[in-house]
Amino acid sequence: MSLRVQNKLAVVTGGGRGVGRAIAERLVAEGAKVIITDINAAAGKSTATAIGATFFRQDVSLQADWLALRQHLEKLDQGLDILINNAAILRSADPLTETLAGWQALMRVNAESVFLGVNTLLAMMAASGGGSIVNMSSSSALMGMPQFTAYAAAKAAVRSLTMSTAVYCKQAGNGVRCNSVHPDGINTDMVREIAGVMQPLAREAAMRSVPFLCEPQAVANVLLFLASDDSLHVNGAAICVDNTATIHPPYI
């Protein structure tokens, strides 16, 4: 049986832990050569060693780090087939308790980083003959999430950028596809940590919008499909992994 991403070169941002690690591990298992990037060098190196990937330290909010990654890829001289923009941070704040500094910090990591990834690496992917960009968005991009105001806004920006990139690539005929994935709650350390520090009422309100915590491996399976040639005609799509939460929030 042939592997679904055999010999494809993939970059997974935020791959040191959580869903990023699950995605990287799934791609490696299906034959891809995976570069994990993460701001946490210890987690990134540990994961890379454990799953058979390589590690590149990166702060995704910094353009200089994206340019350094592109230079690293150019030295490898293998092109780039798959870009998974997964790195993100999560914090809870409603429209009144959110601060400008908090808003800007979250936007840099969760939205601007995705733009930087596309802006820096799209031409390389096109020159390689095409490929797949998958941007990790969220169910919060598609519905109101008052307890996660900045997070939801950033993920909505990711969705909009995904659509614009997909149409651009189609019109350019460069062979690159771009899709976004929209999970609801994922059973990761980051989600459990934020739930632990939320105020009780805010936590209760947030949990009403999460029918169950999805396991990272379930999301990774969707990412594998979008990264592989199985999804050649899927471009610009928003793939929800949310057990109907987006179309029928459980608190309604």
The residue range of the domain holding 155 is: 9-241
Q: What is the mean pLDDT of residues 105-121?
A: 99
* Domain tally, the chain: 1
Give the distance from CA 190 to its chain's centroid.
14
CATH number at residue 75: 3.40.50.720
**Residues with a known catalytic role:** 151
- For the entire predicted model, the pTM comes to 0.90
Q: Residue 60's closest CA among 104, 19, 14?
A: 14
Q: What is the mean pLDDT of residues 67-76?
A: 99
Q: Would you say 185 and 213 are in contact if contact means Cβ atoms under 8 Å apart?
A: yes
pLDDT of residue 94 exceeding 50:
yes
pLDDT of residue 178 exceeding 60:
yes
In a domain, 27, yes or no: yes
Instruction: Give the C-alpha separation, 181 to 136, whole Å.
Output: 5
In a domain, 138, yes or no: yes
| pLDDT for the residue numbered 246 | 85
In a domain, 189, yes or no: yes
Mean residue pLDDT of the chain comes to 91
| pLDDT-wise least confident of 9-13, 172-176, 209-213 | 209-213
In a domain, 251, yes or no: no
Instruction: Give the C-alpha separation, 12 to 14, whole Å.
Output: 6
pLDDT of residue 150 exceeding 90:
yes
| pLDDT for the residue numbered 58 | 99
| pLDDT for the residue numbered 200 | 56
